[in-house]
Amino acid sequence: MTTNTNIHPELLTQFMSLVEQLSLLTDRSNFLRQRCSGLGRMECQTLRLLEDFRCSKPELRERIRRQELTEHEVELYVPRTLRSEYEHGELTEAQLEELPRDLSMKALAGMIGVACSRMTRIGDTLADERSARGGRGKGMIHRAPSPDDRRVILIRITEKGSEKVREQEARSREFTTLLLSRIPADQHRKALDGLEHYRAALEAILPLVDPDANERDRDCQE
């Protein structure tokens, strides 16, 4: 990992301090919002990802029809047993209606940044069926073995889970509106642009500084 040595030391120190303060305040605000939902941070993230995926299915299905998926998306959404048909444009309408495949345990674990064993425990909390430990979850997700590989567990959100996401969305909108009311209106765009640059940079460097990524991958069946 290389770093830019042209950054002024005083600016670097100020930025480090601000990032730390933002992290603490973000953790605190997330805790306050999630306390009302009765779920932890990772459970909320899991539901949000699954709901986003549910809403994107029609568009993804059309991209599959037009063979526009990236190589990574093919691995996520098209079962191995249908990849040859996808590559040659030979998927039937019945097969297309079954796609995209639901997200796997490994895919969700990678999106959140946890091991599959941790993802399994999150699933036990949210599931609509009894877990291996005998307890019943909150009925917000459904887990089932993949039809083409029963070692792979596919996950989809239930209507109860979607309703929880809508509740969280309303709470987040109220929180964000209150937050923006404390920033001058003529600075809203500048604040948004700054946050977008920060998000993009963070997303780019995380794979470079996460030494446990490969270990988490080995924890997954697929």
Question: Quick one: CA dihedral 13, 18, 19, 20, positive or negative?
Answer: positive
pLDDT grade, residue 219 (50/70/90)? low
206 contacts: CB under 8 Å, gap ≥ 6: 113
DSSP H or E stretch at residue 149 = strand 149-157
Hey, is 94 helix, strand or coil? helix
Tokens standing for residue 189? 């765009």
Hey, is 8 helix, strand or coil? coil
Counting residues of the chain whose pLDDT is more than 90, the rounded percentage is 56
Please write the tens of the pLDDT for every residue from 98-145.
999 999 999 999 998 899 899 999 999 999 876 555 567 899 999 999
Q: Residues, the chain, total?
A: 222
CB 112 within 8 A of CB 40: no
Alpha carbons 115 and 97: distance in angstroms, whole number:
31
DSSP state of 50: H
| pLDDT of 218 above 70 | no
pTM to 2 decimal places: 0.76
pLDDT grade, residue 208 (50/70/90)? confident
Please write the tens of the pLDDT for every residue from 28-86.
887 776 676 778 888 989 999 999 999 999 999 999 999 999 999 999 999 999 999 99
- Using alpha carbons only, what angle is made at residue 166 by residues 187 and 139, rounded to the nearest 5 degrees? 145
| pLDDT of 221 above 60 | no
CB 128 within 8 A of CB 158: yes
Residue 38: what are its φ and ψ, rounded to 5°?
80, 10
pLDDT at 57: 95
pLDDT at 99: 94
pLDDT grade, residue 9 (50/70/90)? confident
Please write the tens of the pLDDT for every residue from 149-197.
888 899 999 999 999 999 989 988 998 999 999 999 999 999 999 999 9
